């Protein structure tokens, strides 16, 4: 099958290749990486009928401009609410379109969200590390960050006319407080401090990247223990540094650290938190670990059903017109 | 030694063997890590050994905190902490300038000659405590007391990969160009990130490490990098 050759006319900072990530290497100091918003990433692949976890481009607020030099390839764009300029046409993210030879695609920040995903009907050629092309941003290992001027090859590029158009957005993402299970080092905080953490509003600061997100809110007083032995960290850990400032650890987090973790965000709420912008205000609410398991299972079920739904091709324009004509025929006959 | 169990969100358990760092707690972490590797609970994704903790992460679709804890408690009853002995690894190190910018400062701080600092480092009994900070950053215990120096007040930027750095009782061979506040006493040509898909990292936690001194010409031969270029 043919390749599509693209050139990166512009890439903002932290526009990276991501796939499902490389879990299983935390013991060697390697966090799993992968998309900041896993649901949006999965939706982009599903909308093209791709295999789960196929490499895609994660676009930051900085945006990206791609120029198609050779070949045609269908792409899906999901994630935050981004503006998509395709040739002369302007549309929003959550869309499938075909990028043809000579055409230009610009994806830039819109009204909300900070990460967008561009999946391709084909395979992005990128460096693999430990069996994954996900970029680990602090080391640069894996597929890597896109640089202005570089070229990008999509091998086995295809066009999928039966998948063009808007992608139905997930309607099951909650917008309430971010759910956490307290701990595992909540014993280093007075009960009033944990209560304060759960009842206060925190503002997301601009100290925010793929490693983590620093929050601004009331000072979370540590109860004595300023230096605990360095302990394992997970994606979603909320660690509190000596000055009482909480930081949420995200996709490219350090694997161990000596700051106590007051709470851990449940997996299904990390993606929506990651789409929040600096300046946004968030709140946390605590659930039990058993409730967290129940929620994880329900979330996987909702996600699986949703992805299966958007993975069904809708047919070519001709087929869709035919279908509508037939339906009309049934009603009016 | 019985650990404390704590649930982490919907996907992990953190086991804590002690509040303070001790050889006994770390030996228990390593022994349990090995025991779980031989007999993993259903749905386990990975374990992460640290100084006094073991993290066990799992797929919440397949299992939950209670089932994993039950399985680990069964492993603990049969645990033999004495049994595990890590593999001996050798790391080459060149202590010559320009690879050892802080050797003089360590010499001044300890009152030892440069040569005595090097010999004290070579005499250390090093064990891999844990990985952390960045890919392949293995924290080694075992710096001999006479050359234990505190961290610098401010980190130095852009320290090259392969730097052999010390702070207090710990030693580390860096894998990336990164800032560090530790004292840089040498440079190693031995890759910690091996590029071998079957064994991508030189050490596992619990391994023993010996440093072997090489001169600048050997370093240059091994890496193709000229120390004085």
Domain boundary among A138, A166, A194: A166
What residue ranges define each of the domains in chain B, with the CATH number in brackets?
4-77 (3.30.1360.40), 88-223 (2.40.100.10)
Task: Note whether residue A96 is domain-resident.
Answer: yes
- Phi first, then psi, for residue B2 (nearest 5°) are -100, 125
Span of A202-206, B23-27, B53-57, B113-117 with lowest mean pLDDT: B23-27
How far, in Å, CA of A133 to CA of A33, rounded?
Answer: 10
Q: Find the DSSP H helices in A183-241.
A: 191-199
Considering only the beta carbons, identify the residue of A24, A29, A230 that sits closest to B46.
Answer: A24
Co-location of A91 and A209 in the same domain: no
Looking at the predicted structure, is the pLDDT value of residue B178 above 50? yes
Q: How many domains does chain A have?
A: 2
Considering only the beta carbons, identify the residue of B9, B136, B205 that sits closest to A264.
Answer: B9
Co-location of A226 and A158 in the same domain: no
Residues of chain A with pLDDT under 50: 329-333
Co-location of A122 and A152 in the same domain: yes
- Determine the pLDDT at residue B228: 59
Task: Note whether residue A61 is domain-resident.
Answer: yes
Among residues A175, A158, A76, A162, the alpha carbon closest in space to that of A123 is found at A158
Task: Note whether residue A123 is domain-resident.
Answer: yes
How far, in Å, CA of B168 to CA of A117, rounded?
Answer: 45
Co-location of A122 and A187 in the same domain: no
How far, in Å, CA of B42 to CA of B24, rounded?
Answer: 28
Co-location of A131 and A183 in the same domain: no
Closest-CA distance, A149 to chain B, in angstroms, reads 25
- Determine the pLDDT at residue A321: 72
Considering only the beta carbons, identify the residue of A25, A231, A296 that sits closest to B60.
Answer: A296
Looking at the predicted structure, is the pLDDT value of residue B229 above 80? no
Co-location of A35 and A148 in the same domain: yes
Task: Note whether residue A115 is domain-resident.
Answer: yes
Determine the average pLDDT of the residues in B130-134.
92
Task: Note whether residue A310 is domain-resident.
Answer: no
Mean pLDDT rounded to a whole number for chain B: 94
- Determine the pLDDT at residue B100: 97
Q: Which domain holds residue A134?
A: 4-166
Residue A152, Cβ neighbours under 10 Å: how many?
Answer: 21
Task: Note whether residue A296 is domain-resident.
Answer: no
Q: Where is pLDDT greater, at A43 or B226?
A: A43
Co-location of A93 and A149 in the same domain: yes
**What are B28-33's contacts with CB under 8 Å, separation 24+?**
B28/B1, B28/B3, B28/B79, B28/B81, B29/B53, B29/B54, B30/B84, B30/B86, B30/B205, B30/B206, B31/B79, B31/B80, B31/B81, B31/B83, B31/B84, B32/B3, B32/B72, B32/B75, B32/B76, B32/B79, B33/B205, B33/B206
- Determine the pLDDT at residue B84: 64
Which residues 9-28 of A have a C-beta within 8 angstroms of B?
23-28
Chain A hits for B6, CB-CB cut-off 8 Å, are 183-184
What 3-state DSSP class applies to A44? helix
Chain A hits for B36, CB-CB cut-off 8 Å, are none
Co-location of A151 and A229 in the same domain: no
- In sign, the C-alpha dihedral spanning A29, A34, A37, A42 is negative
How far, in Å, CA of B7 to CA of B9, rounded?
Answer: 6
- In sign, the C-alpha dihedral spanning A32, A35, A39, A44 is negative
pLDDT digits (tens, 9 = 90+) for B81-122: 876 678 999 999 999 999 999 999 999 999 999 999 999 999
Domain boundary among A252, A269, A287: A287
Whether residue B61 and residue A296 make contact (CB cut-off 8 A), yes or no, is yes
Q: Tell me how long chain A is.
A: 333
CA A288 to chain centre: 26
Looking at the predicted structure, is the pLDDT value of residue B127 above 90? yes
Looking at the predicted structure, is the pLDDT value of residue B129 above 80? yes
- Determine the pLDDT at residue A227: 64
Chain B hits for A229, CB-CB cut-off 8 Å, are 19-21, 50-53
Task: Note whether residue A314 is domain-resident.
Answer: no
Q: Looking at the complex, does the CB of residue B62 fall below 8 Å from at least one CB of chain A?
A: no
Chain B hits for A183, CB-CB cut-off 8 Å, are 6-8
Whether residue B60 and residue A26 make contact (CB cut-off 8 A), yes or no, is no
Task: Note whether residue A20 is domain-resident.
Answer: yes
Banded model confidence at residue B80, pLDDT cuts 50, 70, 90: confident
Looking at the predicted structure, is the pLDDT value of residue B227 above 70? no
Domain boundary among A144, A166, A188: A166
What interface predicted TM-score (ipTM) does this complex get? 0.92
Cβ burial, residue A185 (10 Å; 0-12/13-18/19+):
buried
pLDDT digits (tens, 9 = 90+) for A247-287: 999 999 999 988 899 999 999 999 999 999 999 999 999 99
- Determine the pLDDT at residue A325: 62
Co-location of A247 and A189 in the same domain: yes
Residue to substitute from B7, B10, B13, B191, interface A, most A β-carbons within 10 A = B10
CATH, residue A233: 2.40.100.10
Q: Looking at the complex, does the CB of residue B128 fall below 8 Å from at least one CB of chain A?
A: no
Co-location of A32 and A151 in the same domain: yes
Chain B hits for A249, CB-CB cut-off 8 Å, are none
Whether residue A295 and residue B10 make contact (CB cut-off 8 A), yes or no, is yes
Co-location of A151 and A23 in the same domain: yes
Co-location of A143 and A243 in the same domain: no
């Amino acid at each position: 099958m043919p390749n599509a050759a693209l050139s990166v006319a512009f890439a903002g900072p932290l526009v990276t290749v991501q796939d499902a990530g490389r879990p299983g290497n935390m013991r060697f100091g390697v966090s799993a990486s992968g998309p900041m918003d896993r649901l949006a990433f999965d939706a982009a692949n599903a909308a093209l009928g791709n295999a789960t976890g196929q490499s895609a481009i994660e676009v930051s607020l900085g945006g990206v401009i791609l120029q198609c030099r050779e070949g045609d390839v269908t792409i899906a764009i999901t994630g935050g609410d981004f503006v998509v300029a395709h040739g002369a046409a302007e549309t929003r993210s959550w869309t499938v379109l075909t990028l043809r030879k000579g055409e230009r695609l610009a994806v830039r920040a819109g009204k909300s969200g900070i990460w967008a995903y561009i999946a391709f009907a084909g395979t992005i050629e990128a460096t693999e590390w430990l069996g994954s092309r996900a970029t680990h941003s602090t080391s640069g290992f894996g597929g890597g960050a896109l640089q202005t001027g570089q070229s990008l090859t999509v091998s086995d590029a295809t066009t999928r006319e039966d998948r063009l158009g808007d992608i139905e957005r997930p309607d099951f993402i909650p917008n309430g407080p971010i759910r956490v299970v307290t701990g595992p080092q909540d014993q280093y905080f007075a009960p009033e401090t944990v209560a304060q953490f759960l009842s206060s509003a925190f503002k997301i600061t601009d100290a925010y990247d793929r490693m983590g997100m620093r929050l601004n809110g009331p000072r979370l007083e540590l109860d004595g223990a300023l230096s605990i032995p360095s302990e394992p960290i997970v994606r979603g850990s909320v660690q509190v540094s000596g000055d009482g400032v909480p930081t949420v650890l995200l996709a490219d987090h350090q694997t161990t650290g000596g700051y106590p973790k007051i709470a851990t965000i449940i997996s299904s709420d990390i993606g929506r938190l990651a789409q929040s912008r600096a300046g946004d205000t968030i709140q946390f609410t605590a659930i039990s670990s058993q409730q967290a398991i129940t929620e994880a299972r329900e979330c996987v079920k909702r996600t699986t059903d949703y992805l299966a739904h958007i993975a069904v091709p809708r047919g070519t324009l001709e087929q869709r017109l035919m279908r509508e004509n037939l339906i009309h025929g049934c009603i009016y006959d | 030694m019985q650990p404390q169990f704590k649930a982490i969100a919907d996907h992990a358990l953190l086991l804590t063997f002690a509040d303070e760092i001790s050889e006994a707690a770390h030996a228990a972490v390593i022994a349990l890590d090995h025991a779980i590797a031989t007999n993993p609970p259903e749905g386990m994704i990975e374990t992460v050994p640290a100084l006094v903790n073991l993290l066990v992460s799992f797929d919440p679709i397949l299992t939950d905190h209670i089932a994993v804890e039950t399985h680990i408690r069964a492993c603990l009853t049969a645990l033999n902490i004495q049994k595990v002995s890590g593999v001996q690894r050798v790391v080459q190190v060149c202590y010559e300038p320009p690879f050892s910018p802080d050797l003089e400062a360590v010499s001044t701080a300890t009152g030892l000659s440069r040569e005595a600092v090097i010999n004290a480092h070579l005499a250390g009994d090093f064990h891999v405590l844990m990985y952390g900070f960045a890919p392949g950053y293995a924290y080694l215990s075992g710096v001999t007391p006479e050359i234990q120096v505190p961290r610098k007040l401010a980190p130095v930027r852009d320290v090259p990969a392969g730097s052999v750095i010390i702070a207090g009782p710990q030693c580390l061979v860096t894998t990336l160009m990164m800032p560090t506040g530790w004292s840089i006493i040498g440079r190693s040509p031995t890759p910690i990130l091996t590029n071998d898909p079957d064994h991508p990292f030189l050490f596992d936690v619990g391994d023993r490490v010996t440093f072997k001194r090489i001169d600048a010409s050997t370093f240059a031969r091994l890496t193709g990098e000229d120390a004085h270029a």
